[in-house]
Amino acid sequence: MTTPPNPQQPNVARPGEAWPSGSPDPLVTRGVAGWFDRVGDVLRRTWAPLAGLYLGALAVVTLVTVVAGLVAGGTGPGMGYDASGGMTRELGTTSIGLVLLVELLVIAVSVPVLLTAAGASFHLVLQRAAGREATVAAAVRFAWRRLPSALLWAVPAALLLVAGLLVLVLPGIYLAVALSPLVGVLFVERGTLGRVFALSHQSFGTTLGRCALLGVVNLVALIVPFIVLGVANVGSGSFLATALSLVVTLPSCVLWTAASSVTYAELRGIERPGTTVYALADELR
């Protein structure tokens, strides 16, 4: 017989047990209504640590981008735009090579930082949903441990997505949906790209529907910065513009984590009925 849940810890299940009747799993759900409820629950439980985590990651990326812009902009008097003929004639191959090198360095720093933040965010969500203590420091350490294997599959996944978008729009959209469980599979399961496709396709309609909801969020996240910058009358290349972009991007990152983690948990529950958040959290060990 299943022991009734502790009223002081209503969202904690025992190892190996299903959630008691009348006490729904705080992460694994079915249906759009349940999805919205769980996303709201995740935000209430973890918005503060998620905001701190992404603030740190975005600050690092912003700092690297600003420094890279200063370095690239200081490569010589030719680094500018001439209205009469495009780039000035003084811009030689050395300057072009330096700019490309700087851009590659920005990518080399930004991708691991953002991927670490994404993996750590899933750790925070799963652990807190299971009623366990979770800190940003512990989540980052977890993500760092699994980062090498995650990068091994995340980089080709990103290249595949870019290639799909460049070839045709529809293949790109399909790949965006099919690859949506990427972070959960890479960091929770230590899975491969094959596993990502398998999980998204075992209930592709659910995956597509949740991605459509996420797409609306991302669209808003893309539009809001331009509105804010336009109202503030700030140039897109200024430091203030970069700082404002960071501020408006932060909430969308937190919301993305909440929605993506609930979608991942829902797909795992569809794949294996009876899956609980406790079982998912155990996979983080």
Of the two residues 169 and 181, the one the predictor is more confident about is 181
Residue 112 gets which letter from DSSP? H
pLDDT at 90 over 50: no
pTM: 0.81
Distance in angstroms (rounded) separating the CA atoms of residues 167 and 157: 15
Of the two residues 3 and 225, the one the predictor is more confident about is 225
pLDDT at 200 over 70: yes
Q: Are 42 and 27 in contact (CB under 8 A)?
A: yes
- Enter the tokens of residue 225: 């910065």
Q: Are 90 and 76 in contact (CB under 8 A)?
A: yes
Mean pLDDT of 81-96: 48
Predicted local confidence at residue 177, as pLDDT: 92
pLDDT at 265 over 50: yes
Predicted local confidence at residue 234, as pLDDT: 58
Closest CA to 283 of 158, 176, 132: 132
pLDDT at 91 over 80: no
Instruction: Name the pLDDT band for 165 (thresholds 50, 70, 90).
Output: confident
**Mean model confidence pLDDT for the chain:** 81
Strands annotated E in 11-53: none
pLDDT at 13 over 50: no
Predicted local confidence at residue 24, as pLDDT: 84
- Enter the tokens of residue 233: 């009358």
Distance in angstroms (rounded) separating the CA atoms of residues 133 and 141: 15
Q: Which residues contact 93 (CB under 8 A, 6 or more apart)?
A: none
Distances (CA, A) of 23 to 6, 18, 250: 11, 10, 32
Predicted local confidence at residue 94, as pLDDT: 53
Across 11-20, 47-56, 63-72, least confident range: 11-20
Distance in angstroms (rounded) separating the CA atoms of residues 181 and 76: 44
Mean pLDDT of 100-121: 92
| Structural domain spans, the chain | 32-282
Mean pLDDT of 91-114: 80
Predicted local confidence at residue 19, as pLDDT: 43
Predicted local confidence at residue 10, as pLDDT: 41
pLDDT at 101 over 50: yes
Mean pLDDT of 114-122: 97
Predicted local confidence at residue 71, as pLDDT: 77
**Cα 98 to chain centroid, rounded:** 30
